Amino acid sequence: MSRVEQVLRMEMARIARREVKRALQRFTEALRRQRGQLRELKQALAVRRAMEGDGGVVPPGVSEEEVKKARFSGRLIRKMRMRLGLSRGEFAQLAGVSPYAVIGWESDQFRPRGENRRALVALRKIRVRAARRLLEAKKTVLEK
């Protein structure tokens, strides 16, 4: 094989690789976007299942009557947090408040109100494993 023929073959192969790469680039970008969307959907599904009680994570609902009847003291909130084996930050994340709110509740500086009371009533009903699963589900969503 002559040198010219070898150079021509190498050049044609290089151009063919470049053309294939250009043609596939559109598909690889679409695939990357779809994988990202799939990852987000899986995370959202995990949180939704955890919130709805699929697998026994959170009770399906808390009635208004339960929220009104619920009594919370700083000691009770601390005992609930300790029973679940959570730090103040983790407990706050599950309740949907800041860690400083949990500190205020536990020291009886102020009382939980509104949706925070509802969250605490729901947290009162869950078990340790369920709390851990819910916390993990929330953490995966926050890592996005």
What are 101's two structure tokens?
């709110």
Judge whether 55 and 49 are in contact, CB under 8 Å: yes
Judge whether 127 and 26 are in contact, CB under 8 Å: no
Q: Which band of pLDDT confidence, cut at 50, 70 and 90, is reported for residue 53? A: low
CA atoms of 57 and 129, how far apart (whole Å): 8
Of 55, 56, 76, 80, which is closest to residue 91 (Cα–Cα)? 80
H or E segment at 142?
helix 128-142
- Mean pLDDT to the nearest integer, 13-32: 92
DSSP character for 124? H
Residue 65 has pLDDT above 90, yes or no: no
pTM > 0.75: yes or no = no
Of 74, 67, 131, which is closest to residue 104 (Cα–Cα)? 74
Domain tally, the chain: 1
Tell me the average pLDDT of the chain. Answer: 84
CATH number for 14 = 1.10.260.40
- pLDDT reported for residue 131: 86
Find the domain containing 93 and state its range: 1-144
What would the pLDDT profile of 72-91 be if each residue is shown by its tens digit? Answer: 899 999 999 999 999 999 99
Q: Which band of pLDDT confidence, cut at 50, 70 and 90, is reported for residue 143? A: low
Residue type, 87: S
What would the pLDDT profile of 98-137 be if each residue is shown by its tens digit? Answer: 999 999 999 999 999 888 888 898 888 888 888 888 888 7
